[in-house]
Amino acid sequence: MRVEALPRSRDVFPPWLPLVPLTLAVTVLAAAGVLPTWPGLVHLVALPPLDLFGDLRVLLTTTTGPVSFTLLLAVVLAVRVTVLALMTGGLTRERLALAAAFYGVLLPPMLLAAEAVYIAGTLLYARLFWGGLVAVAVLAFLFAPLPWRTGPRVRDTLARAWRDGLRVGVMLPYGVAVVGIGVLADLFPGLTVALVPVSAAATAVAVTALARPARPGGLRRLAAVAVAFALLSWAWVATRGTDPPDPARPREGSILLMSGIDSYSGVGDAFRTRTDLLGYGCDQTYYFSYAGPGDGQPRRLARCPIRTGAPYVSAHTQRPVEEQVRAFAEQTDDLPRPLVVAGHSQGAWIAWRSVATGAAPRVDALILVGPSPRAPAATGPSANRGPAAPHRTCSGC
């Protein structure tokens, strides 16, 4: 793409001025309840392409299907392209084309990152969350400096950005500001809407700095930041303790571990659990089988030998819930008491339903590990509750 050097409207108004109506619109829509009031709200007025990431997260969580998602995404992109064109020089054909190309190139990776963060929040899977977040940070660090000082060609713009050290002197403080504003919005939800203008002000400062010529020595600053980051990362990894914790004091009874959907005998998160940290030896540790009672299962990745339950495959985890409840009741009927059950993911809700409905009265304590935090679960009439009936969810105990 070739972008000619054109007279810019920056000579008439500052580049951050289009942020003012955008900030006003986001604030009003959030105050009216049209936009969700959550920590990500402050990113809707962030520096491109962080603003696109915020848009995608909102659309993924509020639209009802692919049609509404696509239509609203088209509207959002039209607004973003217009605002970026105004901020970088004006509503000319070349500026609109450059802004459209910028968002068009970044839309696929940003959508994947937003989906990763969205799925991680649903599954409570931290590795996927951090992977998506790191991808967003890298994309923002690499691409955010590009639109503000373009050359006659895209390759010239990329070369200038590299010679300027990716404007690390601007991007690093701005990144710290964005993280800090997001943390405040997370810690104090009541301030979220009020923090939108604060986020816009930080963006305005960054845009003004990026629109100016870079100071000499950009590559040296980038190299210094890279070295400092590498040293801090090494120190963080090297100083973290790697010694396994000591086993807890032995306790009486037994523990039954339950893996989630699509697990199979010996393979699943629950099978790798160190029950000695809870005070249970392998002779007190049992593993639930979605196939029902039996004389044992293949050990595979399990910490302890699997002495009970029938071998099962992932298809068994998709059996009707009532069949799984019966299998749970049969497998807890003769285990030593006091009996603790730790259910992970789907296993948590099978255990919950079994105990709450009275199908498994021998369970003395129930630990729900990674259930959906807002999933409904009926506990039955209060008059039918026994001492083993659960009274509240325990996510991640």
- Greater confidence, 339 or 382? 339
- Residue 393's pLDDT is 37
CA 96 to chain centre: 32
Which is more confidently placed, 374 or 62? Answer: 62
pLDDT at 247: 92
d(CA 29, CA 301): 51
Mean pLDDT, all residues of the chain = 86
Rounded Cα gap, residues 240 and 118, in angstroms:
29
- Mean pLDDT on 186-212: 94
| Type of residue numbered 37 | T
Two tokens at 150? Answer: 């373009």
| Dihedral sign of CA atoms 271, 273, 276, 278 in order | negative
Residue 91: name the closest of 18, 42, 16 by CA: 18
**How many percent of the chain have pLDDT more than 90?**
62
Taking Cα atoms as reference points, which of 29, 111, 46 lies closest to residue 80?
46
Query: Strand 254-258 vs strand 339-344: parallel, antiparallel, or unpaired?
Result: parallel
Q: How far is CA 292 from CA 39, 310, 327, in A?
A: 44, 6, 5
pLDDT of residue 213: 87
- For the segment 243-283, what is each residue's pLDDT rounded down to a tens digit? 788 899 999 999 999 999 899 999 998 999 999 999 999 99
**Res. 153 pLDDT band, cuts 50 70 90:** low
pLDDT digits (tens, 9 = 90+) for 78-87: 999 999 999 9
Paired residues of 285 in beta bridges: 255
Listed in order, strand segments (DSSP E) in the chain are 254-258, 285-287, 339-344, 363-369
Which pLDDT band, with edges at 50, 70 and 90, does 75 fall under?
Answer: very high
Checking if the pLDDT of 381 tops 50, the result is no
Cα 392 to Cα 207: distance, rounded to the nearest angstrom = 48
Side-chain-side CA neighbours of 359 within 13 Å: the count stands at 19
For residue 204, give Cα distances in angstroms to 115, 198, 255, 287: 28, 10, 57, 57
Local structure of residue 344 (DSSP, 8 states):
E
Q: Which amino acid is at 120?
A: A
Checking if the pLDDT of 69 tops 50, the result is yes
Given a cut of 60, whether residue 378 has pLDDT beyond it is no
What are the tokens at 370? 């990674």
Q: What is the mean pLDDT of residues 276-302?
A: 95
- Kindly state the average pLDDT of the residues 104-116: 94
Asked if 81 and 99 touch (Cβ cutoff 8 Å), the reply is yes
DSSP string, 133-175: HHHHHHHHHHHTTSTTS--SBHHHHHHHHHHTGGGHHHHHHHH
Residue 191 burial by CB count (10 A; 0-12/13-18/19+): exposed, middle or buried? middle
Q: With CA atoms as reference, report the closest residue to 53 among 140, 123, 119, 128.
A: 140
pLDDT tier for residue 122 given thresholds of 50, 70 and 90: confident
For 69-78, 83-92, 276-285, 315-324, which range has the lowest pLDDT when averaged over its residues? 83-92
Decide if pLDDT at 137 tops 60: yes
| Secondary structure of residue 68 in the 3-state scheme | helix
Q: How confident is the model at residue 382 (pLDDT cuts 50, 70, 90)?
A: very low
What is the pLDDT, as a whole number, of residue 380?
A: 36
Model confidence at 1: pLDDT above 80: no
Question: Sorting pLDDT into bands at 50, 70 and 90, what band is 386?
Answer: very low
Interval 38-55 mean pLDDT: 93
Q: Read off the pLDDT of residues 351-362 as tens digits, 9 standing for 90 and up.
A: 999 999 999 999
Question: CA 333: distance to chain centroid?
Answer: 39
Dist CA 96 CA 323 (whole Å): 59
The pLDDT value recorded for residue 55 is: 95
- Of 37, 305, 12, give the one whose Cα is nearest residue 194: 37
Q: How confident is the model at residue 330 (pLDDT cuts 50, 70, 90)?
A: very high
- Over 90: is that where the pLDDT of 237 sits? no
Q: What is the pLDDT of residues 155-168, one digit of tens each?
A: 777 778 888 888 88
Q: What is the pLDDT at residue 255?
A: 97
On whether the pTM is more than 0.75, the answer is no
- pLDDT for 370 equals 77
Per-residue pLDDT band for 150 (boundaries 50, 70, 90) equals: low
